[in-house]
Amino acid sequence: MLEALIQGILLGGYYAVLAAGLSLMFGVVRFINLAHGDMAVLGAMIALWLVQDVGLGVGLAIALTLPAMAALGWLMQRMIFERALRGGFLIPILTTIGLGAALQNGMFGLFGSETKSLGAHIGGLSWASWELPGSIFLGQLPVYMFLTAIVVLGTLHVVLTRTPFGRAVRATATDADAAALCGIDARRVHRGAAAIAVALAGLAGIFLALRAQVTPFAGPMLLIFAFEAVVIGGIGSLRGTLIGGIALGVAQALGGLISPQFSILAGHVVFLAVLAWRMSQSAAAERGGWRSAWAALTLKRQITRGKS
Amino acid sequence: MTEAKVALALSGAEGRHGQLQAIKPLMLTIAENEVVALIGANGAGKTTLMRMIAGLHPFAAGALHLFGRDVTAMSAHERVKAGIALSPEGRRLFGDMTVRENLMIAAENGRRGDWTIATACDAFPQITPLLDRPAGGLSGGQRQAVAIARALVVNPSVLLLDEVSLGLSPAAVDGVYQSLAALRGKMTMVVVEQDLTRAMNFAGRLICMAEGVLELDGNPAVLTREQITNAYFGIHKTTEASHA
């Protein structure tokens, strides 16, 4: 039980990195990138290609993949997303669904359909573990990944709160017109945010490839996990995203205790429960709080009963 | 050449909100360091005109020149770099950030010049104790002071102030105008003001708009109250008899 809890928390770091990019794009650019999961898979595939076909070490491959993904994010914002955003509400959704399909099939064509993993290239690290008192085994790789996630999200938090670029990002997200009146070029900010978001997706994909396997068609499932973590944690806050990711990871790990098939489902159940709670909270707030909402409901019931 | 002295020149400028012609083709030149008060009833087009000059509202036709340079095609952030700053209607501060961060954002992305957060705090002393407070929690007068300071730290040559005294207590309005008076002669100012007496006392030139048209343009010391009132309500000499 405790071991599953710890594993769930460690898994949460991965989900938080996956979700942070999606949340950043939605919070700053007001753009829902439905190809976010496919971008994560693309990051994994590029790293795998660099390791398996070019013959680089895993560390160097990761160090090359992340800037490449950032550049890709910048380019996609510049070439595709900006134009899609001008088309109203529906166009970005259709565009990114199409982009996701193109990425999936493009990767299928280039890299084949077999499952791949970076796990075979990191030697003993994939199974090495520490034994904690109480015979709890703690995998070293999950711990390193969790620490990396914390450092990455922490750095991003510092960038957003302490640097001129971060202030420009927050100003644009809060009020784009007022930001423009301060001399901020919203397009530049959006491109920077997209670069960070896609690099984060790439990092999440690499995490997945390190701890498990990837296939070209894994993206949509990752997108669902990212959405779930964002909804559980709340949009627009990195701390919330981290909490959401951990909640999702813990739910999956504890669900896996009941039965392996229940693992993913437990994550979905927690997501739906949080969503239902949030929606009922806002519904109650509209009616002046829970007590009056309940009173209104019973009153309505009495009236309908009186009629019949 | 008089061209060099003209700060802002609107020629044939036209602004639309969908089918509505909010600004009818309009000619206006404002000289360097001139202080202009723009008055008019609600819906006269004052805010739209300010937003057009700042680059937030597109020109349906016509052109805008800033010190002889055509800036019509520039977006709002480029016009800030060119020297136009607008303190918008409703202040539009970044409410979840501190006052200091609000000013830093403008200082970092605007032009270099004499105006820094420190000099802006000298001009608006009431800001100094508020620097580390979230901008969302300030009173109306404080918000207005911060909004004007935020427009100043981008170091504009033309400062546009929309609805300076709207929603402020008389004391707060006094404070804001005292600070603004110190800017006279340092930059071109266009102030949208609902309070006619204040507009006449503060500005060297009074412009009155009604239904998207410049009804009146003159020196407030020479204009009579009746002229201004008629212009304000869009009453023309030809129809004056029927209104009397």
| pLDDT tens, chain A, 308 aa long | 888 999 999 999 999 999 999 999 998 998 999 999 999 999 999 999 999 999 999 999 999 999 999 999 999 999 999 999 999 889 999 999 999 999 999 999 999 888 999 988 888 888 888 888 888 888 899 999 999 999 999 999 999 999 999 999 999 999 999 999 999 999 999 999 999 999 999 999 999 999 999 999 999 999 999 999 999 998 778 899 999 999 999 999 999 999 888 999 999 999 999 999 988 888 888 877 777 878 888 888 888 877 65
Tell me whether residue A308 is in a domain: no
- Cα–Cα nearest to A224, from A208, A258, A248, A206: A248
State which residue of chain B sits closest to A187, comparing Cα positions.
B77
The count of structural domains within chain A is: 1
pLDDT computed for residue B169 by the predictor: 86
CB contact (8 A) between residue A181 and residue B85: yes
Tell me whether residue A120 is in a domain: yes
Residue B136 CA: distances (Å) to CA of A180, A278, B156: 19, 25, 25
Tell me whether residue A296 is in a domain: no
Please tell me the number of Cα atoms within 13 Å of B34 on its side-chain side. Answer: 20
Tell me whether residue A96 is in a domain: yes
Compute the nearest-CA separation of B45 from chain A (Å).
Answer: 19
In sequence order, the 6+-apart residues with CB closer than 8 A to the CB of B119 are none
Q: B94 to chain A: which residues are within 8 Å by CB?
A: 170-171, 174-175, 178-179
DSSP H or E run through B30: strand B20-31
Q: How would DSSP label each residue in A165-203?
A: HHHHHHHHHH-HHHHHHTT--HHHHHHHHHHHHHHHHHH
pLDDT computed for residue B3 by the predictor: 43
Tell me whether residue A141 is in a domain: yes
Torsion of Cα atoms, A291 then A297 then A302 then A304, to 10°: 170
What tokens does A107 get? Answer: 């990767």
Range of the domain at B85: 3-243
Compute the nearest-CA separation of A225 from chain B (Å).
Answer: 29
DSSP-based three-state secondary structure for A261 = coil
With 0-12 CB in 10 A as exposed, 13-18 as middle and 19+ as buried, what is B127? buried
Cross-chain CB nearest to B77 (options A167, A170, A185): A185
| Per-residue pLDDT tens digits for B127-167 | 999 999 999 999 988 999 999 999 999 999 999 999 888 88
What is the spatial distance between Cα A57 and Cα A240, in angstroms, rounded to a whole number?
Answer: 34
The strand pairing partners of B213, in sequence order, are B210
Question: Do the Cβ atoms of B126 and B145 come closer than 8 Å?
Answer: yes
The interface predicted TM-score of the complex, written ipTM, equals 0.90
The strand pairing partners of B162, in sequence order, are none
Tell me whether residue A277 is in a domain: no
DSSP H or E run through B83: none
B147 Cβ under 8 Å from any chain A Cβ: no
Question: Which one-letter DSSP state was computed for residue A126?
Answer: G
Tell me the CATH number at B212.
Answer: 3.40.50.300
pLDDT computed for residue A150 by the predictor: 96
pLDDT tier for residue B243 given thresholds of 50, 70 and 90: very low
What is the spatial distance between Cα A120 and Cα B23, in angstroms, rounded to a whole number?
Answer: 69
Compute the nearest-CA separation of A6 from chain B (Å).
Answer: 35
Map tokens 């006052």 to a residue.
B99
pLDDT computed for residue A294 by the predictor: 81
State which residue of chain A sits closest to B83, comparing Cα positions.
A183
| Pairing of the two strands B205-210 and B213-218 | antiparallel
Mean pLDDT in chain B? Answer: 90
The string over B29-65, giving b where at least 16 C-beta atoms fall within 10 Å of a residue's C-beta and e elsewhere, is ebeebbbbbbbbeeebbbbbbbbbbbbbbebeebebb
Q: What angle do CA A10, A239, A165 make, to 5 degrees?
A: 120
Cross-chain CB nearest to A182 (options B55, B75, B154): B154
The count of structural domains within chain B is: 1
pLDDT tier for residue B231 given thresholds of 50, 70 and 90: confident
Question: Which one-letter DSSP state was computed for residue A50?
Answer: I
What is the spatial distance between Cα B190 and Cα B207, in angstroms, rounded to a whole number?
Answer: 10
What average pLDDT score do residues B37-47 get? 91
What tokens does A292 get? Answer: 């009056």
Residue B226 has pLDDT above 90, yes or no: no
What is the spatial distance between Cα A28 and Cα A160, in angstroms, rounded to a whole number?
Answer: 11
Map tokens 């937030």 to a residue.
B56
* Count of Cβ atoms closer than 10 Å to residue B194 Cβ: 15
- In a mutational test of the B interface, the residue from A82, A182, A190 whose CB has the highest number of chain B CBs within 10 Å is A182
Map tokens 């404002």 to a residue.
B30
pLDDT tier for residue B242 given thresholds of 50, 70 and 90: very low
Residue B44 CA: distances (Å) to CA of A214, B15, B32, B33, B151: 62, 12, 25, 25, 24
3-state SS, A59-77, equals HHHHHHHHHHHHHHHHHHH
Tell me whether residue A18 is in a domain: yes
Residue B1 has pLDDT above 70, yes or no: no
What tokens does A223 get? Answer: 């997108």
Which 157-186 residues of chain A touch chain B by CB within 8 A? 164, 167-168, 170-171, 174-175, 177-186
pLDDT tier for residue B10 given thresholds of 50, 70 and 90: very high
Range of the domain at A7: 2-258
- In a mutational test of the A interface, the residue from B51, B75, B77 whose CB has the highest number of chain A CBs within 10 Å is B77
Residue B238 has pLDDT above 80, yes or no: no
Q: A186-211 and A2-24 are packed helices; what angle lies between their axes, rounded to 10 degrees?
A: 150
What is the spatial distance between Cα B141 and Cα B168, in angstroms, rounded to a whole number?
Answer: 6
Confidence (pTM): 0.87
Per DSSP, helices labelled H in chain B are 46-54, 76-82, 99-109, 117-123, 140-152, 170-181, 196-202, 225-232, 237-243
CB contact (8 A) between residue A183 and residue B97: no
